[in-house]
Amino acid sequence: MTVSMSFRRRGATPESLTLHYANLRENDIAARNGYRLTTPLRTILDLAAADTMPRAELSKALLGILERGLITREQVERARIPEVAQMQLEALLGWKKR
């Protein structure tokens, strides 16, 4: 779960939950009925940057959201991608950022 940099938790974080601290831009957030979540592009970039997901699963997720039209190659290419995430995505997709 991504929370703002100023977020402070009073109790213990549940074992099944990992908190990531970041101040996200509004275009990285999608609103749903009563909650907000990161966009598919932001999510895949975060997963690639974290480098904790098995490569095969990350590749399957990335190709799935590309095939479903939830993100485009152009969006990935325009994104401000941390170097680690950029290398992961290039390796998974077999193309270089233009």
Three-state SS at 90: helix
pLDDT classification of 95: cutoffs 50, 70, 90? low
Q: What is the pLDDT of residues 18-68, one digit of tens each?
A: 888 888 889 889 999 999 889 998 888 888 777 778 878 888 888 888 899
* 41: nearest Cα among 73, 17, 18: 73
* 21: nearest Cα among 40, 30, 8, 31: 8
HSE of 22 in the Cβ direction (CA atoms, 13 Å)? Answer: 14
Three-state SS at 42: helix
